[in-house]
Amino acid sequence: MSRTSRRSFLAVAGAGAAATAAATMASAAGAAAGPGVAHRSSPDSGPLVAHVSDPAAGRIVLYVGTEEVVVHDHDLVRRLNRAARR
């Protein structure tokens, strides 16, 4: 039986939370992008960063691994703004 330190437990828990958030954002972006959009990266292919570059236009730039994906989703921008205010 291995001993787990608090530090290693928190590192694993943080990575799991980040992966869950990334998967949620990527699936929302895929739904917003619509059919016919090629998905070259999966959410687990590396880090994912969402940048709301133009809130009025609903423009979100997703940096997935080494790729950049632009989506337009007014509802997602509203939900992100609401979550950021908590």
Query: What is the pLDDT at residue 67?
Result: 86
- The reply to whether the predicted model has a pTM over 0.75 is no
The residue ranges of every structural domain in the chain are 6-84
Please, which residues bridge with residue 52 across strands?
A: 60
- Reported as a single tens digit per residue, the pLDDT across 9-45 is 565 555 555 556 666 666 665 555 554 445 555 556 5
Q: What is the 3-state secondary structure (H, E, C) of 28-76?
A: HHHHHHCCCCCCCCCHHHCCEEEEEEEHHHCEEEEEECCEEEEEECHHH
What is the distance between the terminal CA atoms of the chain, rounded to a whole angstrom?
40
Mean pLDDT of the chain: 73
